[in-house]
Amino acid sequence: MKILVINTGSSSIKYQLFDMPEGTVMASGLVERIGESNSVLTHKYFKDEAYTHRIEQAITDHKEGLNLVVNLLCDSTHGVLQDTSEIKGVGHRVVHGGETFQQPTLIDEPVIAAIEANIPLAPLHNPANLTGIEVARSIFSVPQVAIFDTAFHQSIPPYAYHYALPHELYETYRIRRYGFHGTSHMFVAKAAAQFLGRPKDELNFITIHLGNGASIAAIQNGQSVDTSMGMTPLEGIIMGTRSGDIDPAIHSYLAKQTGKSIQEIDTLLNKQSGLKGICGSNDMRDILVQREEGNALAKLAVEMYSYRIKKYIGAYFAVLGKVDSLIFTAGIGQNSKEIRSEVCQGLKGLGIEIDSDKNANRSDSPQAIQTTDSPVKILVIPTNEELEIAEETLEVIST
Ligand code: AMP
């Protein structure tokens, strides 16, 4: 069965077409700069081998973009389908499900209204996700499913998700911790259980998603019980351009000292901070090279980055009591032996000991990189959020 997965941004559409349940990718691509004169559609399709086709033309809106994608999917040269009717379901990534959505959900009018009601919690993302849903519903008359970044973390208990603010702020504005990257944390937890050959509801994990955005989750018996991101993705560990945890009093101090508005400070913390703020780059590959070349700020950035992750590992160890496995994933987690090594350094007392030879081995498949004596398994597991969305879509439309 063919399932199309769509991730819509304010000026972009990312897509992947899967043949399920095998999970084979038939085509994937990205429409960028929608609404500008220099829009680009990069379409990859997989037949006997992988091919890429690029279209550069003005694409006025998301509907035009998705229609171009659908035409390409069925095109006799670049396509992989005879007809769009072969697509039996569409899965949409939706960033914020608030407290409304604990599960992947079949989309209908009340679901759309509930995603709209959560716009104040994700004012940039949810409107774009809704545009994708609206456009896809105008093109396909098949069931469509919303998969929420926040849903996996809805199992976090109240003492972990509440902020110590006046309670009426939670009642009125739903201010609480929600967490994000849920699809990725869930995917790698499932993959780790499979790799270890044990049921996921008997295992405790600390999952460490280190991409440009980054978060850590404490997973107990297959359920998220805490995570580092909060009401927004700004909280937690240091990210590419986000500060992660800071003293909340810095906001008002900065406003007083610099005269910056709340909006400007928000932009500073989300877009100009993190690794980029510390050393000028948010690309970990560049930062590691610069550190080798003796750049003191690159060295500081790596030290701060690894130290902050280590502190969360300690905290989540205490939360879970027993940890079966640490799982590294996403761009930095999967690819940087340096960061994995620095994060795990000095954690022997917690039963975490990395094997430097295994850690140096690069692989696209899940692998274990702990020493034979390390009680805690250290796993590197490539994440695949799109495949997780396709699997959940299939599950919802099959029931
Ligand atoms: P993602 O958001 O998951 O695509 O991850 C992006 C981050 O992964 C960027 O900071 C990249 O520099 C980093 N990354 C990708 N490949 C490597 C690598 N080989 N070594 C270190 N960092 C990497």
Q: What is the DSSP letter of 13?
A: E
CA 283 to ligand 1 centroid distance, Å: 7
What phi and psi values does residue 66 have, to the nearest 5 degrees? -70, -35
Decide: 121 in ligand 1 pocket, CB within 6 A.
no
Q: Is the pLDDT of residue 367 over 90?
A: yes
Q: Quick one: what percent of the chain has pLDDT higher than 70?
A: 100
Instruction: Measure the CA–CA gap between 374 and 353, rounded to whole angstroms.
Output: 5
Which three-class secondary structure state does DSSP give residue 151?
helix
Two structure tokens written together for 6: 């769509």
DSSP string across 248-282: THHHHHHHHHH---HHHHHHHHHHS-HHHHHHS--
pLDDT for 382: 97
- Tell which atom from ligand 1 comes closest to the C-alpha of 275: 10
- Average of pLDDT values for 255-263? 96
Task: Look at residue 6 in the predicted model and tell me its pLDDT.
Answer: 97
Task: Please state the pTM of the whole predicted model.
Answer: 0.95
Model pLDDT, residue 124? 86
Neighbouring CB atoms inside 10 A of 275's CB total 26
What pLDDT is attached to residue 399? 84
Question: Which pLDDT belongs to residue 115?
Answer: 96
Q: How confident is the model at residue 66 (pLDDT cuts 50, 70, 90)?
A: very high
Give strand ranges (E) for 267-340. 325-329
Cα–ligand 1 centroid distance for 331 (angstroms): 4
Q: Using CA of residue 232, residue 236, residue 242, residue 245, what is the dihedral sign?
A: positive
Say whether 152 sits in a helix, a strand or coil: helix
Q: What is the tens place of the pLDDT at every residue in 166-214?
A: 999 999 999 999 999 999 999 999 999 999 999 999 999 999 999 999 9
Q: Are 88 and 397 in contact (CB under 8 A)?
A: yes
Q: What's the Rg (C-alpha) of the chain?
A: 22
- Domains of the chain (ranges; CATH) run 2-148 (3.30.420.40), 198-385 (3.30.420.40)
pLDDT at 222: 97
Residue 282 has pLDDT above 90, yes or no: yes
Confidence band for 48, pLDDT divided at 50, 70 and 90:
confident
> 298 in ligand 1 pocket by Cβ < 6 Å?
no
Task: Supply the pLDDT for residue 57.
Answer: 95
Q: How far is the CA of 280 from the centre of ligand 1 (A)?
A: 16
pLDDT in tens, 213-234: 999 999 999 999 999 999 999 9
Q: What is the largest CA-CA distance in the chain?
A: 63
- Percent of the chain as helix, strand, coil, to the nearest 5: 45, 20, 35
For the stretch 98-149, pLDDT in tens is 999 999 999 999 999 999 999 999 998 999 999 999 999 999 999 999 999 9
Q: Let me know if 84 is exposed, middle or buried by CB neighbors in 10 A (0-12, 13-18, 19+).
A: middle
The finding on whether 382 has its CB within 6 A of some atom of ligand 1 is no
- β-bridge partners, 146: 92, 105
Q: Is the CB of 332 under 6 A from ligand 1?
A: yes
Catalytic residues: 149
C-alpha to C-alpha distance for 130 and 38, rounded to whole angstroms = 24
Query: Does ligand 1 come within 6 angstroms of the Cβ of 224?
Result: no
Pocket test for ligand 1, best of 238, 279, 290, 335 (most atoms within 8 A of CB): 335
Task: Tell whether ligand 1 has an atom less than 6 A from the beta carbon of residue 330.
Answer: yes
Instruction: Give the phi and the psi of residue 55 in degrees, each rounded to 5.
Output: -120, 125
- Predicted pLDDT at 245: 98
Q: How confident is the model at residue 273 (pLDDT cuts 50, 70, 90)?
A: very high
The CA distance from 166 to 156, in Å, is 20
Averaged pLDDT of the chain: 96
